Structure 1
Amino acid sequence: MMEQTLAAFLAAQERKSWDPATLNCMLFPAAWAIWIGYRDPVEKWRGAFRNEEEYLAIVRAAGGCVPLMAEAVARIGGRPLSVPVCGAVGVVGSPTNLDRQFGAIFDGCRWLVRFTNRIGSMSARPLAIWSI
């Protein structure tokens, strides 16, 4: 069931255009949460930035994507995981380079990230994982 729901979500997201203010790598997992019935976990940040530079300023001020995602996931009752399951959300990338951290969704086999031109897999270390 989760696999089919995720496949439908991914197909719908592929048709949307990248926009740093409305559809980026951190808003991608938030869109997934909304798709499966949760309230908007990032309503606090929607409209708070207009471009990539302003978005990255928020990430840097927060100390990276992990604290931002942790706060967002907590708003909808998500739970930390040590091993990802299909439909889990997480932050993947560099533990030290805040500009190289990405919100991602686990499809059961790999982490999926919203790139500027598509959704694709990323071979990167998970920095934090949550079940939603």
Structure 2
Amino acid sequence: MDIHHFLALPHRFRWGGVGGDDCMTFPASWALRCVGIDPAEDLRGTYRTQAEAHAIVESYGGELAFMDRRLVMIGAKRVQEPDTGDIGLIKAKTGETAADQVETQIGAIRFGPLWACIHPAGIRATPAEFIAAWRLSA
């Protein structure tokens, strides 16, 4: 499956990655489509709220350590210059309204010069600063 087909699928934001995806299971779903292994398989359905998701990520030492451990275990390699289809940890503003937006780190998929990520309103492709990126092994 190519990135265009994946992004065109119906996507739904849902904490816990069951019946939809959150900001960390969204790139894991892409990995599953690309390499047949879901790096979040054992976590899906084990949490249902943002606070529970953050607790899991923090148990790994934060977003970067969480994503690195999960992606390396499926054979992904860190890259310095991400290409379309690579998974990244990006800096993004999250929040429902401008008043409650805060900068955070979320998982995303490189899409040309943009990063595609999931949001309660759907998929967004946006320019963003990336913290780290991984290439999936085909």
TM-score (norm 1): 0.85
Give the CA deviation at 1:63: 2.5
2:114 alignment counterpart? 110
SS at match of 1:100: strand
Q: 2:109–2:116: 8 Å Cα contact kept in structure 1?
A: yes
Provide the C-alpha distance between the structure 2 equivalents of 1:100 and 1:59, rounded to a whole number of angstroms: 13
Q: 1:64–1:101: 8 Å Cα contact kept in structure 2?
A: no
The code of the aligned residue for 1:17 comes to: R
TM-score (norm 2): 0.81
**Structure 1: which 5+ residue stretches go unaligned?**
none
Give the CA deviation at 1:27: 0.4
Give the CA deviation at 1:16: 2.8
Give the CA deviation at 1:81: 0.3
Q: 2:78–2:133: 8 Å Cα contact kept in structure 1?
A: yes
Q: Which has the higher helix share?
A: 1
**Structure 2: which 5+ residue stretches go unaligned?**
93-102
2:12 alignment counterpart? 17
Name the Cα RMSD after superposition.
Answer: 1.7
Give CA deviations for 1:35-78 in whole Å, capped at 9, x if unaligned. 11321111232222121110011123323211111111112101
Provide the C-alpha distance between the structure 2 equivalents of 1:16 and 1:125, rounded to a whole number of angstroms: 23
Alignment of 1:47-58 (within 5 A): 47-58=45-56
SS at match of 1:7: helix
The one of 120, 126, 130 equivalent to 1:122 is 126
SS at match of 2:36: coil
Give CA deviations for 1:71-124 in whole Å, capped at 9, x if unaligned. 111121011100011100010017xxxx71100000122111111111112333
The code of the aligned residue for 1:6 comes to: I
The one of 34, 37, 40 equivalent to 1:39 is 37
Q: Which has the higher strand share?
A: 2
Provide the C-alpha distance between the structure 1 equivalents of 2:11 and 2:117, rounded to a whole number of angstroms: 14
CA distance 1:66–1:125, shift in 2 (3 Å): same
The one of 91, 94, 111 equivalent to 1:93 is 91
Provide the C-alpha distance between the structure 2 equivalents of 1:74 and 1:17, rounded to a whole number of angstroms: 26
